[in-house]
Amino acid sequence: MLDNVRQKDTLIVSISGELDHYAAPKIRAELDEVLQDKSIRKLCLDLKAMSFMDSSGIGVLMGRYKLLNRRGGEIYVKNMNSHVRRIFDMSGLRQIVGVQE
Amino acid sequence: MLDNVRQKDTLIVSISGELDHYAAPKIRAELDEVLQDKSIRKLCLDLKAMSFMDSSGIGVLMGRYKLLNRRGGEIYVKNMNSHVRRIFDMSGLRQIVGVQE
Amino acid sequence: MENNAESTEKKESRSDNGSGALNDMTLLFPAKAENESFARVVVSAFLVRRNPTLEEVGDVKTAVSEAVTNAIVHGYRGASGDVTLYACVADDLFIVEVRDNGVGIADVEKAMKPFYTDKPDEERSGMGFTVMQTFMDEVSVESEVGVGTRVTMKKRLKYANGI
Amino acid sequence: MENNAESTEKKESRSDNGSGALNDMTLLFPAKAENESFARVVVSAFLVRRNPTLEEVGDVKTAVSEAVTNAIVHGYRGASGDVTLYACVADDLFIVEVRDNGVGIADVEKAMKPFYTDKPDEERSGMGFTVMQTFMDEVSVESEVGVGTRVTMKKRLKYANGI
Ligand SMILES: Nc1ncnc2c1ncn2[C@@H]1O[C@H](COP(=O)(O)OP(=O)(O)O)[C@@H](O)[C@H]1O
Ligand SMILES: Nc1ncnc2c1ncn2[C@@H]1O[C@H](COP(=O)(O)OP(=O)(O)O)[C@@H](O)[C@H]1O
């Protein structure tokens, strides 16, 4: 489901498919596995190929934010569609997750 | 739903979408309307854009066959997929409706 | 035939033992021709998670289309009523059932004969049951006049390695 | 809340007066996470015939996904049981209802507050109801402890010129 590219201390991960409660555990586990590499400070999630997200996605993003925040790192997303943007805005994710336009 | 091309005494009609019991009356009415032109002797149905057909389609084809047969005309189909081919074979349509490969 | 559609649904859905190997669904919709394509989409969406071949999806859609059309056209004869579509899959066995509480069939054997139809004037071909039998491995019909009809169809899937 | 899901379904489907303006459907499926996407596909397929905008389809899918997930995660807490998805459309008004016969909610007002969740350890965000309210015009919740929960959501469609 995930596709990764490393650029210095940044890992770009592309999420594809649907991010719902069913898919969340797998995506979470895959993200946490790559994040075991402590030299990663920035996690960039490319949402271009993500066809659906509901509030289960908020939980996954919040959780990864906390994990990176503990090591002084940060998390941001790119290729967010208007639907995901509304979920970001209402949930306050917008305040803690950077958006690369 | 239909798209027509005239070639001498042949009318080529392309059927698009689904040919089920719901769509049958509309497709039947449209075919019968163009067939009011008595100079049409051959009706060729292009099934390339037809995404679905069940036994309601057998009824529509049988009916048009009878109509053309009364005026000494004929009916054939082209661009039939394997699914429609099986329906043709089991129903005996194969014996009365020509198939242009 | 038992006419208690509700208790049957309940039982069927409860037969799920939570193992993950079995999944099922029950769909109720009004007997309207516009719902024929909806029923096809729903059964495809249910099946598709088991990694069927394109041909298998086409076969199931066609068979379900025939049974649902029959429930609407023959079972209810244009009157209002509900059609029930039940589907279940366990390992490589896919079962789908179409039920109506319509007029029922007096002589099932005769009704299932190729080319038999009671509506030749409406250009029905009489091939509905034959299509179901061609595209599915097994078709059985239970019916009672004045009570309704239940068509049960089974198909073994080539690849059962979905979820 | 009335716990007689079957008689309710019956009533709802019978409410169809055959005018062609109203259409509805009831889907029953086991409370398994793998069925969340199935429920989304079914509600989209139901809605799509009314010529909705892409945004409306996305809104409805998301809201239904939240309610179905809640029925599975909170209502049944991983135990087996059925989720019922009822949808109906009449002119420009689309109504969808998600029901479970699970544990129920003691304090609905508290449960609907943004960020409230009883499962923070599982990374639930507590934003499910807020998402439903954002994407639908109206959300109402009826629940009874030990009996179950019914979430009813309404949305006015911009173009009601489907079938
Ligand atoms: N659900 C049903 N309720 C009542 N009668 C039915 C039902 N399904 C089939 N029949 C009867 O069986 C006959 C044959 O059905 P079928 O093979 O599908 O052909 P067709 O639909 O073209 O008539 C119908 O004409 C009808 O008399
Ligand atoms: N169907 C349900 N059955 C029982 N409790 C529910 C149900 N739906 C929601 N709840 C309760 O409401 C709370 C808030 O739900 P929600 O806003 O969707 O957030 P989340 O699902 O992230 O917890 C849940 O944590 C749960 O306590």
Query: Mutation test of the interface with chain C: which of D12, D41, D61, choosing the one with the most C Cβ atoms within 10 A?
Result: D41
Ordered DSSP codes for B62-83: HHHHHHHHHTT-EEEEES--HH
pLDDT (tens digit per residue) in D136-149: 999 999 999 999 99
pLDDT at C19: 39
Strands A74-78 and A98-100, bridge-based pairing? parallel
- More confident site: C162 or B37: B37
Tell me which amino acid residue C34 is.
Answer: E
Which segments of chain D have a pLDDT < 70?
Answer: 1-21, 160-163
How would residue C4 be classed by pLDDT, with cut points 50, 70 and 90? very low
Taking an 8 Å cut-off on Cβ atoms, the answer to whether C69 and B52 are in contact is no
Q: For a substitution probing ligand 2, which of D105, D107, D144, D151 has the most ligand atoms within 8 Å of its CB?
A: D105
Q: Whose CA is nearest to atom 8 of ligand 1?
A: C70
Tell which CATH architecture fits domain C2-8+23-156: 2-Layer Sandwich (3.30)
- Look up residue D146 and give its two tokens: 């030990």
Ligand 1: atom nearest CA of C98 is: 1
Determine the distance separating the centroid of ligand 1 and the alpha carbon of D119, expressed in angstroms. Answer: 53
Ligand 1: atom nearest CA of C100 is: 1
pLDDT at C160: 62
* Domain residue extents for chain D: 2-8+23-156
Of D73, D69, D106, D74, which Cα lies nearest the Cα of D85? D69
pLDDT at C1: 37
pLDDT at B2: 72
Task: Quote the pTM value.
Answer: 0.90
Residue D75 CA to residue D145 CA, distance in Å, equals 10
- ipTM of predicted complex: 0.90
Which active-site residues of D does the annotation give?
Answer: 66, 70, 124
pLDDT at D161: 53
CA distance D55 to chain A (A): 8
- How far does Cα B81 stand from its chain's mean position? 14
Q: Which residues fall within 8 angstroms of residue A69, CB to CB, at 6 or more apart?
A: none
Nearest residue in chain B measured CA to CA from C120: B59
CA distance D159 to chain A (A): 20
pLDDT at A101: 75
CA distance C8 to chain B (A): 28
Across the range A48-67, mean pLDDT stands at: 95
**Residue C49 near residue C163, CB atoms below 8 Å:** yes
CATH code for the domain defined by A2-100: 3.30.750.24
Which active-site residues of C does the annotation give?
Answer: 66, 70, 124
Please indicate if any CB of chain D lies within 8 Å of the CB of A67: no
In the numeric block, the tokens 């990663």 are attached to A40
Determine the distance separating the centroid of ligand 2 and the alpha carbon of D75, expressed in angstroms. Answer: 8
pLDDT at D106: 97
Query: What is the residue-averaged pLDDT of chain C?
Result: 87
pLDDT (tens digit per residue) in C48-100: 999 999 999 999 999 999 999 999 999 999 899 999 999 999 989 999 999 99
Largest CA distance in chain C: 50
Residue A9: how many CA atoms within 13 Å on its side-chain side? 10
Of C89, C95, C38, C94, which Cα lies nearest the Cα of C68? C38
Nearest residue in chain B measured CA to CA from C73: B21
Please indicate if any CB of chain D lies within 8 Å of the CB of A18: yes
pLDDT (tens digit per residue) in B57-73: 999 999 999 999 999 99
Taking an 8 Å cut-off on Cβ atoms, the answer to whether C30 and D10 are in contact is no
Ligand approaching nearest to the C-alpha of D146: 2
- Look up residue A71 and give its two tokens: 């090591």
Task: Nearest by CB to D6, from C6, C18, C80: name it.
Answer: C6
- Which residues of chain D approach chain C closer than 8 Å at the C-beta? 6-7, 9-10, 13-14, 16-18, 20, 23-30, 32, 34-35, 38, 41-42, 45-46, 49, 79-80, 82, 163
Tell me which amino acid residue C94 is.
Answer: F
10 Å Cβ neighbour count for A33?
10
Residue A34 CA to residue C73 CA, distance in Å, equals 58
- Which residues of chain C approach chain D closer than 8 Å at the C-beta? 6-7, 9-10, 13-14, 16-18, 20, 23-30, 32, 34-35, 38, 41-42, 45-46, 49, 79-80, 82, 163
Tell me which amino acid residue C154 is.
Answer: K
- Residue A72 DSSP one-character state: T
CA distance B1 to chain C (A): 16
Q: Whose CA is nearest to atom 23 of ligand 1?
A: C117
